[in-house]
């Protein structure tokens, strides 16, 4: 909140306030030493005027956000000075008349001062709430009436002063109470800090104290005018010092306090103030003192009127709050769309009662899942994730059109309700369009990010007739859609069977590893310059008894989610090192590359696992390469850097897989202990036909050279690409065009063939079974 305060001039401003106080205090004391009379009164006024001037100067110097409150206070004090100067000559001729016009000026000054404090207290950005002002007025009326009655009542034969005089008499303590209430409000409306607010409180305290306490005591204690004068002057000077102090900017800032809730203390104080009126009257009656009926009626009417307004404003506020709560309960706070609750309500409303005899409504419910949301959240941050959701929501809204309803119904899931779409094919066509909304990348915090979408369909009345059923079935369809290549699925009865393919597979995977159903295939990696195979990449497969040979895409992502990945990586590592040792024994020096998953990098035990595995299989660390993607390293950069550093220290070679598909720059990668870049096959496969890909590969090769990294091109599917890469200065290649991933037993023959063929490339072709 102190944003506007320039800290360099704080001491300077503080000094100004201090100097002002010292100087004026000396003047004030000097003036008090003078004999009573016009001269002394004028001196008093002059010192007070200095206080007023200091407020104005302070506002100009400190340039606070809000100046009006301070100027009002200065105005109020100025009125007092003027009234004081005019009052003084009147006292020369003995007791001045009471009440006089000057009392009006004094009171106006008080009200202006109080208004200034109230303005400072109430400077919120949110809509103004009149409650506080009304409360202050009620308190003022209650306390004013009560003190007036007591003053008037305490006078023997009271009432001879006349209505006007009595009212004016009561007005002084009332104004003092109002100012105090305003000050209390300043303190409770927020927690103002700084010396200025303390000085201001001191000033108000001095004024009110002098008025209420000293004026009362003076009669009893025979205090001279010196005490009174000192009290008032103190108020003026403290006020001036407050404005001069730089921390006055803190009190003068607009603040963001939320609309105030109903406060018990505030209401209690108001209730007590209201009760003061009948209590005072009762006391008066009991003591046999006269009760001024007109004053009682007037005060009661005012108080009741104010309380009525206050209650109306409270009702209004409660209404607003309940409307706000209702809106909140129906809104998803990230996207601003409707939430699941509201979506279900809408669906139920548009489906109508299934038993009312009318023809059932035709509606399609599409549940749309944003894929890779967790990954985006983890790599780019929650804000990027929120941006993504908002952007998806916007695309869906545009797609759904005027009649459609879009809601966010789950973490990564949106619901789209399409009224009137009752047939399967019609709904499927819309679902395809919705899935294609994800083709164009999303711009997230300046990055262009591609994510996929999956759509589950359920249609009323065909699939279900009630909202809950329809939603459950769309959800089942969505689960199926996530597993399908086309990413769209319409509800079908067999989806009810419960376990999804993924969850079934995960329960089986552990046993499958023990059963040796999980196997590792190897794909050769070739040095471009020599045509020599220096290593192989280990790629996991599952020989599933029912589903056949499953590629990693079918179970690695799920293993990552369920935590089984730790076991799986360990398994592949073990198999690969066993194989590497066997090849070495047979005289083949092949390095083996194992793919890591993000969980491995976050796992503190992983480095030990790798070290133990190397020891167990008696394989040198240089023969092991570990592949990670750029995004993986960004999930938790600090932790990753630590794990990668430890692996590098171990002597293992680290490489960046799928380079070019993530968001990181080479500059970022440079901070990681990686030695090798594997350019993603999306740039390599199209190399010959697409100049952009060629340019990317060429510049990546050059940059990597400078950084001392070796470059491996993935996805080399033909000899022409192989030759082009060799031309560009790329170090190594891997791809179907050189050799597909095969079982370990097939590797020696494949390598022999490659090394025979590549040096004289144009002469011979790759045998059909090893080619794409
Ligand atoms: P990757 O690390 O990029 O592996 C290369 C993938 O590209 C392999 O697919 C390979 O069969 C395929 N490929 C190789 N040459 C060519 C080519 O010329 N053209 C085409 N179109 N594709 C080619 P695969 O075996 O299906 O593996 C897919 C991904 O699964 C791998 O991508 C890797 O990220 C992951 N993966 C494989 N094995 C493991 C593993 O043991 N652990 C982990 N965590 N992930 C693994
Ligand atoms: Ca790889
Ligand atoms: Ca790759």
Q: Do 510 and 564 touch, CB atoms closer than 8 A?
A: yes
pLDDT per residue as tens digits for the range 451-474: 999 999 999 888 988 888 899 899
Q: Tell me how far the alpha carbon of residue 325 is from its chain's centroid.
A: 20
Residue in 552, 573, 754 to alter for ligand 1 test, most ligand atoms within 8 A of Cβ:
552
CA end-to-end span of the chain: 66
- Among protein residues, the one with the nearest Cα to ligand 1's atom 46 is 595
- DSSP letter at 545 equals T
- How much is the average pLDDT of 311-331? 87
Residue bearing the bigger pLDDT, 737 or 118: 737
With the most atoms of ligand 1 within 8 angstroms of its CB, the residue from 524, 539, 738 to mutate is: 539
Burial level of 687, CB count in 10 A (0-12/13-18/19+)?
Answer: buried
Between the CA of 443 and the centroid of ligand 2 the distance, in Å, is: 27
Rounded to the nearest angstrom, the distance between the alpha carbon of 101 and the centre of ligand 2 is 94
Question: Of 111, 103, 55, whose CA–CA distance to 83 is shortest?
Answer: 103
Ligand with minimal distance to 678 CA: 3
- Tell which atom from ligand 1 comes closest to the C-alpha of 741: 11
Beta bridge partners of 679: 659, 713
Supply 415's token pair. 């619901």
DSSP 263: P
Report the SS3 class of residue 739: coil
Measuring from atom 35 of ligand 1, which residue has the nearest CA? 552
Range in 439-448, 674-683, 748-757 with the lowest mean pLDDT: 439-448
CB atoms within 10 A of CB 286: 8
Distance of CA 252 from the midpoint of ligand 1 (Å):
64
Closest ligand to C-alpha of residue 564 is: 1
Considering every ligand atom shown, identify the ligand nearest to the alpha carbon of residue 659 and give its number.
3
User: In sequence order, which residues have a C-beta less than 8 Å from that of residue 215 and are 6 or more positions away?
Assistant: 172, 228
Closest ligand to residue 627's CA? 2
Q: Give residues (CB < 6 A) around ligand 1.
A: 523, 539-540, 551-553, 556, 569, 572, 595-597, 627, 657-658, 681, 714-717, 734-736, 741
Q: What average pLDDT score do residues 529-538 get?
A: 96
Q: Residue 428 Cα, ligand 1 centroid: separation in angstroms?
A: 32
CB atoms within 10 A of CB 194: 19
**537 alpha carbon – ligand 2 mean position (Å):** 7
Q: Which residue has the tokens 């009147």?
A: 90
Predicted structure pTM score: 0.47
| Closest residue CA from atom 9 of ligand 1 | 539
Each residue of 412-456: pLDDT tens digit? 999 999 999 988 899 999 999 999 999 999 988 778 888 999 999
Nearest CA to ligand 1 atom 28: 552
Let me know: does 200 contact 238? Beta carbons within 8 Å: yes
Predicted pLDDT of residue 667: 66
Nearest atom in ligand 1 to 551's CA: 26
Q: Distance (Å, rounded) from C-alpha 23 to C-alpha 605?
A: 72
Nearest to 646 by CA among 671, 594, 597, 611: 611
Q: Count of residues for the chain? A: 772
67 torsion bin: left (phi>0), alpha (psi -120 to 50), beta (else): alpha
Q: How far is the CA of 626 from the centre of ligand 2 (A)?
A: 9
Cα dihedral angle (9, 11, 17, 20), rounded to 10 degrees?
-100
Contact 721, 679 (CB under 8 A): no
Cβ–Cβ under 8 Å, residues 344 and 353: no
Mean pLDDT value of segment 50-54: 95
The DSSP result for 652-706, as a single string, is: -EEEEEEETSSS--HHHHTTTT--EEEE-HHHHTTTTT-HHHHHHHHHHHHHHHH
| Burial track 125-162 (b if 16+ CB lie within 10 A, e otherwise) | eeeebebbbbbbbbbbbbbbbbbbbbbbbeeeeeeebe
- C-alpha 504 – ligand 1 centre gap (Å): 23
Task: Say what the pLDDT of residue 379 is.
Answer: 80
The number of beta carbons lying within 10 Å of the beta carbon of residue 300 is 16
* Residues 736-764 as b or e (16 or more Cβ within 10 Å = b): bbbbbbbebebbeebbebbeebbeeeeee
Query: Closest ligand 1 atom to the C-alpha of 521?
Result: 25
Residue owning tokens 């007791």 = 95
Tell the burial category of 641 from Cβ atoms under 10 Å away from its Cβ (0-12, 13-18, 19+).
middle
Question: What's the mean pLDDT in 526-533?
Answer: 95
Report which of 592, 712, 719 is spatially closest to residue 653, judged by C-alpha positions. 592
Q: Which of 509, 536, 595, 632 to mutate to test the pocket of ligand 1 (most atoms within 8 A of CB)?
A: 595
Is the confidence at residue 5, as pLDDT, over 50?
Answer: no
The closest alpha carbon to 733, from 761, 710, 764, 756, belongs to 710
**Separation of CA 627 and ligand 2 centre (Å):** 6
Q: What integer pLDDT is reported at residue 9 of this predicted model?
A: 47
Residue 739 CA to ligand 2 centre (angstroms): 15
Ligand closest to the CA atom of residue 540: 1
Contacts of 162 (CB under 8 A, 6+ apart): none
CB-CB neighbours of 266 under 10 Å? 17
**CA 741–ligand 1 middle distance (angstroms):** 9
| Beta strands 453-460; 488-490: pairing state | parallel
* DSSP letter, residue 127: P
For the cut 80, the answer to whether the pLDDT of residue 499 exceeds it is no
**The predicted structure's pLDDT at residue 768:** 46
Q: Compute the distance from residue 369 Cα to the ligand 3 centre, in Å.
A: 26
* The pLDDT of residue 256: 64
Which segments of 122-214 does DSSP mark as H helices, in order? 131-154, 163-189, 195-208
From ligand 1's centre to the CA of 552, what distance in Å?
Answer: 7
Place of tokens 């990693």: 552
- Compute, in angstroms, the gap from residue 760 CA to the centroid of ligand 1: 28
Position in ligand 1 atom list of the atom nearest CA 560? 44
Q: Which atom of ligand 1 is nearest to the CA of 520?
A: 41
Q: Which ligand has the minimum distance to the alpha carbon of residue 739? A: 1
d(CA 194, CA 192): 7
pLDDT for residue 160: 56
For residue 597, the tally of other CB atoms under 10 A from its CB is: 19
The arithmetic mean of pLDDT across residues 353-379, rounded, is 86
What is the pLDDT, as a whole number, of residue 260?
A: 55
- Based on DSSP, count helices (H) and strands (E) in the chain, helices before strands: 29, 18
Per-position DSSP letters for 273-296, written without gaps between them: HHHHHHHHHHHHHHTT----HHHH
Angle at 583 between CA 581 and CA 588, to 5 degrees: 120
Q: In which band, very low, low, confident or very high, does the pLDDT at 398 lie, cut at 50, 70 and 90?
A: very high
| Ligand 1 atom closest to the CA of 734, numbered from 1 | 15
Give the pair of three-digit tokens for residue 624. Answer: 């092991």
Query: Is residue 575's pLDDT more than 70?
Result: yes
Quick: pLDDT tens for 139-197: 888 887 887 777 665 554 444 567 777 778 777 877 888 888 888 777 766 666 788 98
- Whether 634 and 664 have beta carbons less than 8 Å apart is answered as yes
Q: Are strands 624-629 and 676-679 parallel, antiparallel or unpaired?
A: unpaired
Q: Which ligand is nearest to the CA of 687?
A: 1
Is the backbone peptide bond immediately before 461 cis, with ω within 30 degrees of 0? yes
Give me the percent of the chain exceeding a pLDDT of 90: 44
Under the phi-then-psi rule, with left for phi > 0, alpha for psi from -120 to 50, and beta for the rest, what region is 516? left
Strand partners, 447: 444
Residue whose CA lies nearest to ligand 1 atom number 29: 552
pLDDT higher than 50, residue 288: yes
Segment 52-71 mean pLDDT: 92
Q: Closest ligand 1 atom to the C-alpha of 737?
A: 18
Phi/psi region, residue 292 (left: phi>0; alpha: psi -120 to 50; beta: rest), is beta
Q: Whose CA is nearest to atom 42 of ligand 1?
A: 595
Q: Whose CA is nearest to atom 7 of ligand 1?
A: 715
* Residues 213, 232: Cα–Cα separation, whole Å: 12
Neighbours of ion ligand 2 (CB under 5 A): 595, 627, 657
Stretch 306-321: mean pLDDT, rounded? 88
pLDDT tens column, 602-613: 888 999 999 999
Q: What is the pLDDT of residues 230-263, one digit of tens each?
A: 889 999 999 999 999 988 888 888 776 555 555 6
Residue 435 Cα, ligand 3 centroid: separation in angstroms?
Answer: 26
Quick one: which ligand is closest to 715's CA?
1
């Amino acid at each position: 909140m102190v944003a506007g305060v320039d800290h360099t001039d704080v001491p300077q401003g503080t000094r100004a306030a201090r100097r002002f106080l010292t100087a004026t205090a000396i003047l004030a004391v000097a003036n008090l030493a003078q004999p009573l009379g016009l001269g002394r009164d004028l001196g008093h006024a002059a010192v007070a005027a200095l206080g007023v001037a200091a407020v104005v100067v302070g506002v100009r110097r400190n340039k606070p956000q809000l100046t009006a409150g301070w100027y009002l206070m200065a105005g109020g004090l100025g009125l007092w000075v003027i009234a004081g100067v005019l009052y003084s000559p009147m006292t020369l001729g003995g007791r001045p008349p009471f009440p006089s016009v000057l009392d009006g000026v004094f009171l106006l000054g008080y009200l202006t001062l109080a208004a200034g404090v109230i303005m400072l207290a109430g400077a919120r950005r949110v809509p103004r709430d009149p409650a506080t002002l009304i409360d202050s007025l009620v308190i003022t009326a209650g306390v004013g009436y009560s003190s007036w009655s007591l003053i008037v009542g305490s006078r023997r034969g009271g009432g001879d002063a006349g209505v006007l005089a009595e009212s004016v008499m009561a007005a002084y303590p009332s104004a003092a109470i109002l100012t105090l209430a305003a000050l209390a409000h300043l303190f409770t409306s927020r927690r103002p800090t700084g010396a200025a607010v303390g000085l201001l409180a001191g000033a108000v305290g001095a004024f009110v104290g002098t008025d209420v306490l000293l004026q009362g005591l003076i009669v009893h204690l025979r205090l001279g005018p010196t005490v009174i004068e000192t009290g008032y002057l103190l108020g003026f000077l403290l006020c001036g010092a407050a404005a001069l102090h730089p921390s006055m900017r803190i009190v003068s800032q607009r603040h963001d306090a939320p609309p105030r809730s109903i406060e018990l203390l505030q209401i209690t104080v108001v209730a007590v103030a209201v009760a003061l009126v009948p209590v005072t009257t009762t006391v008066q009656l009991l003591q046999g003192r006269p009760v001024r009926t007109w004053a009682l009626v007037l005060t009661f009417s005012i108080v009741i009127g104010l309380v009525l307004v206050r209650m109306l404003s409270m009702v209004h506020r409660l209404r607003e709050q309940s409307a706000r709560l209702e809106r909140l309960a129906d809104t998803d706070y990230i996207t601003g769309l409707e939430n699941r609750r509201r979506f279900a309500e809408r669906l139920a409303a548009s489906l109508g009662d299934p038993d009312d005899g009318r023809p059932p409504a035709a509606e399609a419910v599409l549940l749309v899942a944003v894929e890779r949301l967790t990954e985006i959240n983890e790599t780019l941050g929650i804000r990027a994730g929120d941006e993504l959701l908002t952007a998806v929501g916007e695309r869906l809204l545009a797609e759904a059109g005027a009649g459609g309803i879009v809601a966010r119904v789950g973490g990564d899931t949106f619901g789209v309700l399409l009224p009137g779409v009752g047939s399967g094919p019609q709904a499927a066509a819309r679902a395809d369009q919705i899935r294609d909304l994800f083709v164009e990348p999303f711009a997230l915090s300046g990055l262009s990010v591609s994510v996929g979408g999956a759509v589950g369909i359920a249609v009323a009345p065909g699939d279900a007739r009630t909202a809950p059923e329809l939603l459950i079935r769309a959800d089942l369809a969505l689960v199926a859609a996530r597993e399908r290549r086309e990413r769209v699925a319409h509800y079908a009865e067999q989806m009810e069977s419960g376990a999804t393919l993924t969850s079934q597979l995960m329960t089986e995977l552990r046993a499958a590893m023990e059963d040796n159903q999980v196997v590792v295939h190897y794909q050769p990696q070739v040095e471009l310059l020599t045509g020599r195979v220096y290593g192989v990449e280990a790629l996991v497969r599952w020989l599933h008894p029912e589903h056949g040979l499953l590629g990693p895409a079918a179970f690695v992502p799920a293993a990552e989610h369920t935590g089984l990945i730790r076991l799986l990586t360990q398994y592949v590592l073990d198999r690969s090192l066993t194989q590497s040792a066997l090849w070495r024994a047979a005289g083949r020096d092949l390095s083996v590359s194992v793919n890591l998953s993000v969980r491995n990098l976050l796992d503190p035990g992983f480095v030990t696992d790798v070290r133990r595995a190397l020891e167990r299989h008696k394989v040198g660390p240089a023969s092991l390469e570990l592949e990670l993607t750029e995004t993986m390293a960004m999930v938790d950069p600090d932790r990753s850097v630590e794990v990668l550093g430890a692996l590098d220290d171990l002597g293992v070679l680290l490489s960046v897989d799928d380079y070019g598909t993530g968001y990181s720059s080479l500059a970022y990668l440079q901070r990681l202990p990686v030695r090798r870049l594997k350019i993603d096959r999306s740039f390599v496969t199209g190399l010959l036909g697409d100049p952009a890909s060629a340019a990317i590969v060429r510049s990546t090769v050059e940059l990597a050279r400078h950084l001392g990294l070796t470059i491996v091109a993935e996805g080399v599917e033909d000899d022409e690409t192989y030759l082009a890469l060799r031309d560009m200065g790329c170090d190594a290649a891997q791809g179907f065009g050189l050799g597909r991933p095969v079982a370990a037993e097939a590797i020696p023959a494949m390598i022999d063939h490659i090394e025979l063929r590549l040096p004289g490339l144009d002469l011979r072709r790759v045998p059909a079974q090893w080619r794409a």
